């Protein structure tokens, strides 16, 4: 490769939950009558967070389907697909680093864990690329919701023939969620090893953010959970509006 110059491009911003988010954690401490499926939490602060692996995995899944480069069952994501470079695999990482027709560098993208920064009270008025609602600090938000940013939601399995709760395996279960209105920080690092591929990889990450915003994060997405909106996005020091990103 020519024109090689290593650099980093930083995507930063905020993630606002428009509906409750469930990303599963350990249930080793769950007791009878309590939450059946807790969310993942920082063991020191007790606050939920969004693992970088969850953001990366869902974004990769959506991009692979969007670009129609979904790996075959049991196969790894190859840097080549139908004889062409699979840029999604190159950005998000692959295992085939030997015997390639082109030089391959390590994974291009790093997803940081996203931590809670506060919450907003009126998510219905949150429109546009900039978060106009004041973000309550963590202490104030905890006091208003009377919890450490968690809520319990009752789930049941419905028999689609009768429209009632299934007699077997359909009993009530409590799922823990991070409530709508919670705000997380966001940081994604794009590692540039070749300036010739920089623009293409920037486009892929921007499209991935928009695809994720149009889809859902975490579990129970088909039931309304995990709807997110990205706010105050920047690529280095330049504002990013996902409405400008074509799909």
Residue 228's Cβ-side half-sphere holds a number of Cα atoms within 13 Å equal to 32
Can you give the three-state secondary structure of 148-189, one letter per residue? CCCEEEEECCEECCCCEECCCCCCCEEEEEECCCEEEEEEEE
**What pLDDT is stored for residue 208 in this prediction?**
98
**What pLDDT is stored for residue 96 in this prediction?**
62
**What pLDDT is stored for residue 103 in this prediction?**
63
**What pLDDT is stored for residue 170 in this prediction?**
53
**What pLDDT is stored for residue 81 in this prediction?**
72
**What pLDDT is stored for residue 82 in this prediction?**
74
Dist. CA 190–CA 174, nearest whole Å? 38
Question: Average pLDDT of each block of 10 consecutive residues along the chain (247 residues)?
Answer: 77 97 69 67 96 97 94 68 84 71 78 97 88 93 92 75 64 84 98 93 98 96 94 97 96
Range 170-176, long-range pairs (CB < 8 A, 24+ positions): 173/36, 173/37, 174/34, 174/35, 174/36, 174/37, 175/22, 175/35, 175/36, 175/37, 175/219, 175/220, 176/22, 176/35, 176/37, 176/38, 176/39, 176/150, 176/151, 176/152
**What pLDDT is stored for residue 138 in this prediction?**
96
Nearest CA to 186 out of 56, 20, 1 is that of 56
**What pLDDT is stored for residue 33 in this prediction?**
46
Domain ranges of the chain: 7-244
**What pLDDT is stored for residue 72 in this prediction?**
73
**What pLDDT is stored for residue 75 in this prediction?**
61
């Amino acid at each position: 490769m020519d024109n090689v110059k290593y650099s980093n491009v930083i995507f930063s911003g905020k993630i606002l939950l428009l509906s409750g988010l469930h990303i599963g954690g350990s249930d080793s401490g769950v007791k009878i009558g309590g939450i059946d499926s807790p969310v993942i939490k920082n063991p020191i602060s007790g606050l939920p967070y969004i693992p970088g692996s969850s953001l990366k995995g869902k974004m990769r899944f959506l991009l692979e389907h969007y670009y129609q480069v979904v790996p075959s069952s049991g196969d790894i994501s190859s840097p080549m697909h139908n004889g062409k470079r699979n840029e999604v695999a190159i950005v998000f990482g692959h295992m085939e680093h030997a015997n390639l027709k082109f030089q391959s560098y390590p994974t291009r993208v790093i997803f940081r864990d996203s931590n809670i920064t506060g919450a907003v009270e009126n998510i219905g008025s949150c429109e546009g690329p900039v978060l106009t609602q004041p973000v309550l600090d963590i202490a104030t938000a905890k006091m208003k919701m009377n919890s450490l940013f968690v809520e319990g939601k009752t789930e049941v399995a419905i028999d689609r023939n009768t429209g009632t709760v299934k007699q077997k395996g359909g009993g009530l279960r409590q799922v823990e969620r991070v409530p709508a209105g919670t705000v997380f920080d966001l940081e994604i690092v794009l590692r540039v090893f070749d300036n010739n591929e920089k623009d293409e990889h920037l486009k892929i990450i921007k499209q991935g953010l928009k695809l994720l915003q149009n889809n859902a994060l975490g579990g129970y997405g088909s039931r309304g959970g995990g709807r997110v909106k990205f706010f105050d996005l920047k690529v280095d020091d330049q504002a990013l509006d996902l409405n400008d990103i074509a799909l």
